[in-house]
Structure 1
Amino acid sequence: MRGYPFFRHTIALLAGIFFAERSPQLIWWPVGIGLLSAVAYGFFIWKHERRPIRPLSLAQGLLLLLIFAALGSGLHYASNPTRHADHIGHAPQPPDAYEAVVTNLPEGRAKTYKVELQIRRGRIGGSYQAMSGRVMAYLAKGDSLKPTPLPHYGDVWLVLRPPLPADPPLNPAEFDYRRHLAHRGITHQQYILPWQRRVLGNDPPNPLTALAYRVNAWADSLFTRRIGTRAEYGIVNAMLLGVRDDLDQRQYDAYAAAGAVHILSVSGLHVGILFVIMTWFIRRVAPKQANRWWVVLLKISVLWFFALMTGFSSPILRSALMFTFLLTAGVANRSLSLLNTLAASAFLILCYDPNAAFSQGFQLSYLAVLGIGAWVPDVMQRYRNKNKLTTKLWELTVVALMAQLFTFPLAIYYFHTFPTYFLLANPVVMGLSTVLVPLALVTFTLGWIPYLGDGLGWLLRGVAWALNQSVEWLADWPGAVWDGLWLSEAGLVLLYLILGAVGMVALTRQRFFVHTTAVLALLLTALTVFEIAQQDRQRRLTVHFMPRKTAVSLTLGHQTTVLTDADWQTDPRQYNFNLKNTFGEWGVRRVAVGNLMTDTVAVLPTYWHNPDMSLVVWQGRSLLLINRLSNYRRWQLPALIDYVLVRRNALRSWDQLANRLVARQYIFDDSNEPVRTDSLLAQAGRRGIACHSIRQMGQFRAEW
């Protein structure tokens, strides 16, 4: 790796960032080690300063890697907004009002606008004081009679309601939205009604970003006029401007099933398409001018103008920076390897924003480009054909295969699915995208011209229609998606080590890497067998968090029974967001559902059931679900109940259960009002009653 210094340094920087993320309490350890390494490295430099040829030293190289690792930890610590004394998290109490500025391009949802707010000052005890922090706010759109105007970047708001800390995940393996926000410097979230905020003015924090958002808004209005149809406009808007507001769920699911969901976001792929198209055009028009400084400057200008048009989207900035390095090296007559250039762009991005390392887009895009750069040239040399059409199809297939090969373990780890027909879909998607991206850019540039703009819009709409139709056709094929796949962190690491070892076998043909591949494969097999054996023996009763609903699962081996009042057939999003990953992590292959709004007898033996409550005995454990308590009904359970689940505000006072019920554990799910639950928990603490609040403590799980 001598020829790839940035690659080594970037890996060390990443190691320091991940260490600081996992062990923030040990931040002074890497700082101290970094300082000692810097002193030792300086000693090596001083010792060999006068030698004309300085010897290579393994110790010196390791010290340099430790310095960069310490730098990564330090940058991660410095990027944490909570370290500031005036951060909202350090306030003695939440501010009852605060002044903040909108720092992003607002996203339109079905009923809200999603905006990020940077706090400037907050009101505590009747007086305003300087305060920092960021809030993810959801502003209600209002109604048809009085709709809320679309917010703008730089709007200064006075919010008349305190923000709340972001909620942690309350179910196993649920998407950690709080951590996702924290990696963007956001610690609080809030739902705001229109009358709970006032717009004080407009003061953009960054004039260049404000310009980018104005260009983005103008492009959006242009595409709206020229394209017209929502499905085609939505796909162009998502690909070119990064706005998914007009994409419906059916469209998104179709692209996910075809393995082309990456096309729905502005990314390095689009920058690469522009780069290839510009290079091809210049070689045809001016073949001898390709490396002249004015041509390079023109290419860089187009790439950064595209970045401006997308609102300076992070993936576009990454790719524009990487291609800028490549173009600058070419005009300077210096050859840069793709691996080193890729690492250099990642290094600069991580120095500016260490939390980019935790972005799924950052990880997947760099792995995809790494796979394409490392393997596509070698594979392409193995097949040459005089037919240009078959050669182009082969090139697109190889690019798709290498990108998928390097990203599929991470995609399974994050999304738990794998598209079956990606090899068929990606050449079609790549081919049509190669036409759509430059055509959209030309439409943006010339679309204001009468008649010409109409013609360009018609062409753009046709290409977008063809892209939608081809993807939806492939997504309807049987078995288009492998769903329910699960990969642990250890399995993810082993899988990437196997891919690396296989790559080294192909490059070096050394027997050592063949043996290494075999050992790693055996370890992955052993890990998989161990995980499946653990799942075969699992037996657990779980009360899950479900917003304003009840969800109880009884899991035995690889099957589970869920008792719930949520209607997943009409609204599957609740199941997909709250429980699907939980059952995937547990290896559950069969889910049976019992509707608590009808009866429980159809799913499990119910020893006592009436409109007020249901008593279920499962695997030697008893569970009583209380729906309501009527004063005129007199009842008493003769035996000790293991778990009592209180639903729908059935319990107002613990005196209602006096001389009626003896239980080991009382559980309150999210179908109860928080105020009433808090009051009952306070009373239970004084009476010595064991209680568990799903809203406060997360899911309740009993295993035996």
Structure 2
Amino acid sequence: MSSQTPIPMNFVSILAAYLPGLIVADHNTLMRIALSRQTPVLMLLTILILLVLLTLCFINLYYKQLNIYRHKIPTAGLIYMLFFSYGIWSAFKATSLLDSNHFAVQKSDFLKIIISNDPRQKNGFINFQADVCYAESFKTLKENKSVLPSMRNCSGRMAIKIKTEVASNLSLNYGDQLIIPAVYHLIPPPDHPSLFDYRSWLNHQGIHYQANFQQRQVILLQTKSGRPIISYALKTRNQQLAFYRKFMKNKDAYAVASTLILGERADLSAETLNTYSVTGTIHALSVSGMHVGLIYLILNFLFSLWKFTYRFNIIKTILIIFAIWYYALISGLSPSVLRSVIMLSVFIVAKQYSKTTNSYNIIAFTAFCLLVYHPLLIWDTGFQLSFLAVLGLIYLQPKLTVLWPIKNILLNQLWKSTTMSCAAQLFTFPFSIYYFHQFPLYFMISNLFILLPIAALMYLGLAILLFRMSILIPLFEWLIIFTNKSLTQIAELPYSSITGIWISKTMLIVLCVSILLGIVALFKRQQQLFLSAVICVLILHSMMICELLKARQQRILIRMQLRKLKASFASMEYRQHSPAPGNSTRLS
């Protein structure tokens, strides 16, 4: 996907302006100003964008007359301001709390909602996300004491949990319409910093409120009123899952198969997830570019068996693009899948018309398209790690490969796989330890081991579903169990991973800068950049020492809420010796 001749990276420049706008818009100060509704932020941004657009149109019309080519920097600044402002506008527009019709702003007694994802039923509860479309309230007239209902359009999203009754067969699906009481609350923060920040994860999806109901409080109005294409995709995926469930006996094998092939992670056990996480192979359980790439290779190989004319080559291109988009649809349209499908589609079209491409331009175009459609994706962990891994493969992997040229074909492929794993791991390393607080030491061994099993599992799994070849399921199931057991043995090795790594956002930025400077200095052989990287490492080390010293001296209050017990540990000191006699431990 690279070319020897330089190609203008237009979308790289556009993304370089658009991304900072999205990031700045998420700043606490700006968000508080926007949510206060005292300042019409969206209106001001719209006016600014229109003014910049009019200025750029004027420059384009009188480009030669005004000799604009002599003033490239001011013109570039205007273009940058346009996309920067558009980034802020997009982020604010995606924040539903700014909408005056948001359900939290309006006083209501009942809400009409539409289920917006595939509900999960487990342990007597049904969990799902919903779009709020109407708010209904009842007003009592003083004259005759009659009740006057009123219904208003509203917006917003909500996370909902419904406790089902013991003898109930309640089944909810995507697109179902429900009437619920207008009783909800803000999503609370995690009880402990080490826990998963569920609130932040939902907030970056535009969900700020949640509600819990009994089954008798909910009224089902209408079924299957969602988008037909999403309903079809979920129905198709559930049919494929049912086929796996019918013939596979091992629960863990079924969970891995449904996750690996169809992106359904609901049945994945915590033990299996931890094994793949500790060994650094968690990416194998996410439908991503590797899966889409394998499908493309299969289809491209099958079509290559026949010689087509130019007209039939266009039909072949359309069929391949349709197939990978269809697979992306039934596998859940995760950010990593969307990234790989868009990039691959651009590459296939460019190849069909013999056009040269630039990998950085394609990845910037992909990111820009996804963020324009869903600006809050920038805070999605999968989105960030997926694009960082691809950047590592594009920039670093070719440079590592040429360091040791190997003539033997098998050894050369092994070396390429090793450099690919190292490049992706190095680029995702800062964000991995920031989000997951651990680093797998045996990631290279684990990733080299699963290359062949994962490819075989993909081919077998797809063949079983496409051709209903249930005869292959015992082999498919055995290979999954073998892979799981092998990874478990690697995870149980001494020092398999470093855990308990905690870094702040400032440390994350310093770490990213130091790695980037170090890589560029290594291959450009620039001493100044190398010294800058060393200085960044020293700054990071100093920050970590300061945090450690501060933690040892601080006095904190730790509250842990269990199911039926609240434990409060007050006035505890972080010291290496025993606590002082004055300290106390109280259970309440």
- Judge conservation of contact 1:371–1:403 (CA < 8 Å) in 2: yes
Correspondence 1:567-578 to 2 at 5 A: none
1:201 aligns with 2:217: no
Partner Cα distance (1:461, 1:290) in 2: 42
- Judge conservation of contact 1:117–1:134 (CA < 8 Å) in 2: yes
1:551 aligns with 2:568: yes
Correspondence 1:161-560 to 2 at 5 A: 162-172=183-193, 174-279=195-300, 292-447=313-468, 453-543=469-559, 548=564, 549-552=566-569, 554-557=571-574
Q: 1:83 to 1:52 in 2, by over 3 A?
A: closer
- Judge conservation of contact 1:278–1:299 (CA < 8 Å) in 2: yes
What displacement does 1:240 show?
Answer: 2.1
Unaligned stretches of 5+ residues in structure 1: 448-452, 562-602, 606-616, 628-646, 648-704
- Judge conservation of contact 1:436–1:464 (CA < 8 Å) in 2: yes
- Judge conservation of contact 2:289–2:336 (CA < 8 Å) in 1: yes
Q: Secondary structure at the match of 1:187?
A: strand
- Judge conservation of contact 1:553–1:560 (CA < 8 Å) in 2: no
Work out which of the residue numbers 106, 109, 126 in structure 2 matches 1:91. Answer: 106
Number of the residue aligned with 2:157 = 134
Number of the residue aligned with 2:172 = 151
Q: 1:85 to 1:520 in 2, by over 3 A?
A: same
More helix by share: 2
1:59 aligns with 2:82: no
Partner Cα distance (1:268, 1:405) in 2: 18
Partner Cα distance (1:155, 1:342) in 2: 37
Q: 1:55 to 1:461 in 2, by over 3 A?
A: farther
Q: Percent identity?
A: 24
Q: Secondary structure at the match of 2:136?
A: strand
Work out which of the residue numbers 110, 119, 123 in structure 2 matches 1:110. Answer: 123
Larger Rg: 1
Q: 1:285 to 1:37 in 2, by over 3 A?
A: same
Q: Secondary structure at the match of 1:89?
A: coil
Partner Cα distance (2:9, 2:551) in 1: 44
Correspondence 1:642-661 to 2 at 5 A: 647=588
Partner Cα distance (1:161, 1:68) in 2: 39
- Judge conservation of contact 1:96–1:124 (CA < 8 Å) in 2: yes
What displacement does 1:105 show?
Answer: 1.1
Q: 1:470 to 1:287 in 2, by over 3 A?
A: farther
Map Cα deviations across residues 291-347 of structure 1 (whole Å, 9 max, x no partner). Answer: 932332232122112112213334322321121111111112212111110110110
Partner Cα distance (1:397, 1:458) in 2: 31
Map Cα deviations across residues 371-428 of structure 1 (whole Å, 9 max, x no partner). Answer: 0111222322333434333233222222111111000110111110111111111122
Question: What is the one-letter code of the residue matched to 2:375?
Answer: P
Number of the residue aligned with 2:60 = 45
- Judge conservation of contact 1:240–1:437 (CA < 8 Å) in 2: yes
Question: What is the one-letter code of the residue matched to 2:524?
Answer: T
Question: What is the one-letter code of the residue matched to 1:129?
Answer: M
Q: Secondary structure at the match of 1:124?
A: strand
Partner Cα distance (2:573, 2:312) in 1: 66
Partner Cα distance (1:11, 1:479) in 2: 40
What displacement does 1:280 show?
Answer: 5.3
Unaligned stretches of 5+ residues in structure 2: 1-5, 35-40, 140-148
Q: 1:371 to 1:531 in 2, by over 3 A?
A: same
Question: What is the one-letter code of the residue matched to 1:16?
Answer: G
What displacement does 1:348 show?
Answer: 0.6
Map Cα deviations across residues 537-592 of structure 1 (whole Å, 9 max, x no partner). Answer: 3233444555652231544335699xxxxxxxxxxxxxxxxxxxxxxxxxxxxxxx
Work out which of the residue numbers 2, 9, 12 in structure 1 matches 2:14. Answer: 9
What displacement does 1:250 show?
Answer: 1.2
What displacement does 1:207 show?
Answer: 1.1
Q: 1:544 to 1:247 in 2, by over 3 A?
A: closer
Q: 1:322 to 1:405 in 2, by over 3 A?
A: same
Number of the residue aligned with 1:589 = none
RCO higher in 1 or 2 (8 Å CA, sep ≥ 6)? 2
- Judge conservation of contact 1:290–1:296 (CA < 8 Å) in 2: no
What displacement does 1:489 show?
Answer: 1.0
Q: Secondary structure at the match of 1:550?
A: strand
Q: 1:289 to 1:433 in 2, by over 3 A?
A: farther
Number of the residue aligned with 2:142 = none
Partner Cα distance (1:317, 1:58) in 2: 35
Aligned residue pairs, count: 562
What displacement does 1:507 show?
Answer: 3.7
Question: What is the one-letter code of the residue matched to 2:348?
Answer: L
Q: Secondary structure at the match of 1:407?
A: helix
What displacement does 1:172 show?
Answer: 4.7
Question: What is the one-letter code of the residue matched to 2:161?
Answer: Y
Q: 1:292 to 1:431 in 2, by over 3 A?
A: same
Map Cα deviations across residues 405-458 of structure 1 (whole Å, 9 max, x no partner). Answer: 0001101111101111111111222322112223222221111xxxxx222323
What displacement does 1:2 show?
Answer: 7.6
Q: Normalising by the residue count of structure 1, what TM-score does the alignment of the two structures yield?
A: 0.74
- Judge conservation of contact 2:264–2:331 (CA < 8 Å) in 1: no
